[in-house]
Amino acid sequence: MHPYRTVLGSLDPEAAEKVAQLHVPLRAPIVITDLRTAEMIKYASNAFLATKISFINEIANICEALGADIKEVAIGMGYDTRIGNQFLDAGVGYGGSCFPKDVKALAYMAAEKGRHPQLLYTVMEINDDRREMVVTHIKEMVGDLKGKIIGLLGLSFKPNTDDMREAPSITIVQKLQADGATVRAYDPVAMQVAQPLLPGVEMMPDPYTLAQGCDALVVMTEWNEFKQLDKPRLRDIMRQPVLYDGRNIYEPEEMVRTGFIYRGVGRGFNGMNLEKGAMHNIVPPAE
Instruction: Tell me the catalytic residues.
Output: 98
Burial classification of residue 286, based on how many CB atoms lie within 10 Å of its CB (0-12 exposed, 13-18 middle, 19 or more buried): exposed
What distance in Å separates the CA atoms of residue 72 and residue 60, rounded to the nearest whole number?
11
Provide the residue count of the chain. Answer: 287
Beta-carbon contacts of 242 under 8 Å, excluding residues fewer than 6 positions away, are 138, 141, 142, 215, 216, 217, 260, 261, 262
Query: How far apart are the C-alpha atoms of 278 and 107, rounded to whole Å?
Result: 44
**Burial, 105: exposed, middle or buried (Cβ in 10 Å; 0-12, 13-18, 19+)?**
middle
Residue pair 283/79 in contact (Cβ under 8 Å)? The answer is no
Reference 285, options 266, 265, 267, 258; nearest CA is 258
Query: 249 vs 105, 152, 240, CA distance in Å?
Result: 32, 14, 20
Distance CA 163, CA 96 (A): 7
Burial annotation 214-251 (CB, 10 A radius, 16+ → b, else e):
bbbbbbbbbbebbeebebeebbeebebbbbbbbbbbbb
